Amino acid sequence: MPDRPSLLPRLRQETAQSHRELEDAVQIARTLGNESSYRKLLEVFHGFYAPMEEQLSEAQEWELEGIHFDERRKADWIKQDLQALGLGADQINSLPTCEDLPVVNENDFAFGSFYVLEGSTLGGRHISAMLQTSPISEHARRFFRGYGEDTGTMWKQFCNSLEGFAEHADHGKIIRGADATFRSLQRWIAHEGLHA
């Protein structure tokens, strides 16, 4: 029986449109010019990442796939940034959270969702570079630094785990999980009026 084709090229291709639409919705350059808009961006991201990560943490036994889930949580990074911008723990905990999340009750779908969250660290490197010339405090840039110098390595490890999982998984469900996550985040950004 011939080897199955690699999932990643198809995954990138079939989610390219929803990925592009999300980037258009965020309009990152508009949020880096002042602390108020940057804080709003982080608040919106926290409202998505925190509940999404909770869902994903319970979706499957990630350790069996070679993934240490807790070291890949990003909501805590956002929380650190918001605290650096002056928000207290109670204020952060009372921020609105997205209730229109994709349901990740199948391993295949969950891996697709996780692909989106992990992939954000790659875009974060570009945004981190943009922040170097912005007025935003260095102490409020943790989220976009991702894994720092280890970002590339962490991404490759995740992709290797995903490809290994995909050998015996439904590629269509993985792709639908990723696409649904891009679209859910885009709807959440629109709902919260990021650029209103």
Tens digits of per-residue pLDDT, 34-61?
A: 999 999 999 999 999 999 999 999 988 8
Q: How far is CA 131 from the centre of its chain?
A: 18
Q: Between 75 and 28, where is the model more confident?
A: 75
Say what the pLDDT of residue 60 is: 85
What is the torsional sign of CA 41, 70, 111, 177? Answer: negative
Domain ranges of the chain: 31-191
Q: How confident is the model at residue 174 (pLDDT cuts 50, 70, 90)?
A: very high
Which two structure tokens, joined as six digits, stand for 115? 């692909």
**Which H or E run contains 186?**
helix 171-191
At residue 170, the pLDDT reads 96
Query: What's the rounded mean pLDDT across residues 17-25?
Result: 94
Asked whether the predicted pLDDT for residue 29 surpasses 90, the reply is no
Q: Tell how far CA 4 is from the center of its chain.
A: 27
- The answer, yes or no, to whether residue 194 has pLDDT greater than 80, is no
Exposure on the CB side of residue 9, measured as CA atoms within 13 A: 3
* Mean pLDDT along residues 106-115: 96
CATH 3.20.20.370, domain 31-191, yes or no? no
How would residue 193 be classed by pLDDT, with cut points 50, 70 and 90? confident
